[in-house]
Structure 1
Amino acid sequence: MSKVLIIAGDFSETLEVFYPYERLREEGYEPVIAAPTQKRLQFVVHDFEPGYETFTEKLGHGWPADVALADVDPSEYVALVVPGGRAPEYLRNNPDVKRIVAHFFGADAPVAVTCHGPIILAKAGVLAGRTVSGFPEIAPDVEAGGGTYQNSEALVDGALVSARAWNDNGPWFREFIKVLREKAPLA
């Protein structure tokens, strides 16, 4: 079975982890969650509620990481998924995350990223010449990382497919599955 790596951590957005996880399973791919350590992760739910200028955050589901980032051999995976939430704030500084992201971009392999996930790509130095979507407030981070920000529910730039947040899961992953089927079809 073809494996797809999902980089997550504590306070990754629940819907941005589980939607890709289940869609990949539905397609016949094997999703594997990598985190700083192999432990049970705590995800969160971000919601937009009246009276607040930004999203609110509540505890979401817990889920075990399958593998520690340091133990990931990215050549064993056909694609990469980078969810958002608050986890990207600290994951972007992890040297193994940078190593893994660089591998997938160097191989021109399918990469799906959403919400705050693009700040990981910016820190990994892979956005030069790329156009990416994400949560609108990260546009300066994308641009500082050499990329161009575009507000889109499903932006395809070669093998990179990005979106703003969990509200875009359907269009985002529809486009990613197209790229995945083309570049890493199941045998």
Structure 2
Amino acid sequence: MNRKILLVTGDGGESYETLYAVHRFQEEGDIAVIAAPSRRRLNLVMHDFEPGWDTYVERAGYCLDADLTIDEVVVSDYDAILLLGGRAPEYLRNHAVLLEVVREFNRQEKWIFAICHGIQILVTAGLAKNKELTAYEHVRTEIEMGGGTYSTQQAIRDGNMVTGQTWQSHPDFYREVFSCLKEQ
């Protein structure tokens, strides 16, 4: 299809979510471009759910090179943006340029996809208000404080946004993502 999709992550980003996204877009003939705070090799991590733990555990994951910096992003070059999860959104949501990039995707009515903790960036950008969103369950409070409604669905579409809970939501999430992209 040759659509160009911007994937945003950084150190501490979820390894499986990132690599799965790159491969799924490539399988569809799309161009996946990784943007991060700096152009270098990123240290991704893996999160899993272990019996008896109150939260997820984290292990070292794969490394992946960023194609460009967030500061270099030109929104008009892309068909959609995907905000990936893991711990990276904890600090990426404080990146002023990234917040403006996400807002510009919204102003241009382009697709905005977010999964897991990536929704934290949407909330900080002020885009959760009056939206129905899903995310990792412990991001629920942030969604609600941002004026959104939390859904327990694995993936949900509201307007130009599709959100997913975790990497375990990939089948539902990407089914919705590719349904949206086919509407273009």
Per-residue Cα deviation, 1:82-120 (whole angstroms, up to 9, x for no partner) = 111000000000011101100111122111111111110
- Report the secondary structure of 2:97's partner residue: helix
Structure 1's consecutive aligned runs of 4 or more residues displaced over 6 angstroms after TM superposition are none
TM-score (norm 2): 0.97
- Report the secondary structure of 2:117's partner residue: coil
Does the alignment pair 1:147 with 2:148?
Answer: yes
1:93 alignment counterpart: 94
1:7 alignment counterpart: 8
CA distance in 2 between counterparts of 1:18 and 1:168 reads 15
User: Where in structure 2 are the equivalents of 1:1-187 lying within 5 Å?
Assistant: 1-183=2-184
Deviation at 1:159, TM superposition (A): 2.0
CA distance in 1 between counterparts of 2:52 and 2:143 reads 28
Letter in 2 for 1:24: F
Letter in 2 for 1:116: H
Deviation at 1:9, TM superposition (A): 0.5
Letter in 1 for 2:14: E
Deviation at 1:149, TM superposition (A): 1.0
Letter in 2 for 1:158: G
Deviation at 1:147, TM superposition (A): 1.2
Deviation at 1:38, TM superposition (A): 0.3
Query: How many residues were matched structurally?
Result: 183
| Range moving further from structure 2, 151-160 or 84-93 | 151-160
| Range moving further from structure 2, 9-18 or 86-95 | 9-18
- Report the secondary structure of 1:116's partner residue: helix
Letter in 2 for 1:81: L
- RMSD of aligned alpha carbons: 0.9
CA distance in 1 between counterparts of 2:171 and 2:60 reads 23
Instruction: Please list every run of 5 or more consecutive structure 1 residues that lacks an aligned counterpart in the other structure.
Output: none
CA distance in 2 between counterparts of 1:181 and 1:159 reads 13
CA distance in 2 between counterparts of 1:71 and 1:32 reads 12
CA distance in 2 between counterparts of 1:65 and 1:41 reads 7
Letter in 1 for 2:18: V
Letter in 2 for 1:91: L
CA distance in 1 between counterparts of 2:107 and 2:143 reads 19
- Report the secondary structure of 2:26's partner residue: helix
TM-score (norm 1): 0.95
